[in-house]
Amino acid sequence: MSTFLFDQTIFGPINSRRLGISLGINLLPNDSKLCSFDCIYCECGWNPEKGTVKAILPTRNSVKRMLREKLSEMKSEGALPDVITFAGNGEPTMHPDFAGIIDDTLFIRNELCPGAKIAVLSNSTMLHKAKVVEALKKIDDNILKLDSGLVETIQLLDQPVGRFDLQNVVSNIKKFDGQSIIQTMFIRGNFKGAEIDNTTEPELKAWIEVLQQIRPRLVMIYTIARDTPANDLRKVSTEELEIIADRVVNETGLEVQVSG
């Protein structure tokens, strides 16, 4: 199926189904992915073959300059964003200057659009780095991926690059003392002969048990809305997502946001 890459460092604003009017920041290359996951549902497609693409990242100074220019333009038009979102072509926390870029963004946000939140969409794999954790603690919406409470499902859905230890990831998320947002993609289908469905009873039970350990301030659940690199994937209905949300609320007391 058709997927796409973000071809700019600062992109949008776009109307996000979860975050509102969002101005995006892509800290990854503009012509390829760079990610520690290779999710079968990623709207940006597959990671490139190792060694085939040289990853050219935007510099800290260029991000700072472009963000200031864009927000100044939006301010002059009276159309400031609800949120500044780090997303794009892969895992933003992999950028070597991620912590410094967050500091720059906070400074510019406070100066030009103090009403906007700052959000980071992360797959949680870089939380072993103290500077990444410290940076994420400074922002408004620290949104961390957790697609399952079962490691074999994460291996299938998210295709981690290299070694992946679910319990270590959960322990790292707990460092935020409840000031995190967990984001989970619910999906069905087939991939390389394996059946996929993370809405089954064993899946939900394991996932909710992990949520109980983490105690995030919000759980975001959603399903695919765009084309995916793997072909045989299907959406989960909004009605089913609402049932899952009600179960989380009833069993944990956590707040849940559904995006169909």
> Is residue 216 in some structural domain?
yes
Work out the average pLDDT over 225-241: 94
More confident residue, 218 or 45: 218
> Is residue 59 in some structural domain?
yes
pLDDT reported for residue 243: 98
pLDDT reported for residue 46: 93
Cis amide bond preceding 229, omega within 30: no
> Is residue 207 in some structural domain?
yes
Containing structural domain, residue 109 = 10-259
> Is residue 5 in some structural domain?
no
**pLDDT tens-digit profile of 35-90?**
999 999 999 999 988 767 778 899 999 999 999 999 999 999 999 999 999 999 99
Do 71 and 80 contact (CB within 8 A), yes or no?
yes
Do 84 and 141 contact (CB within 8 A), yes or no?
no
> Is residue 174 in some structural domain?
yes
Determine the Cα–Cα distance for residues 200 and 97; give it in Å rounded to an integer: 40
**pLDDT tens-digit profile of 94-142?**
999 999 999 999 999 999 999 999 999 999 999 999 999 999 999 999 9
Quick check: helix, strand or coil at residue 236? coil
**pLDDT tens-digit profile of 161-193?**
989 999 999 999 999 999 999 999 999 999 999
> Is residue 1 in some structural domain?
no
The CATH number of whichever domain residue 137 belongs to comes to: 3.20.20.70
More confident residue, 1 or 84: 84
pLDDT reported for residue 50: 75
In terms of DSSP bridges, do strands 188-191 and 194-197 run parallel, antiparallel, or are they unpaired?
A: antiparallel
> Is residue 107 in some structural domain?
yes
In the chain, how many domains are there?
1
> Is residue 65 in some structural domain?
yes
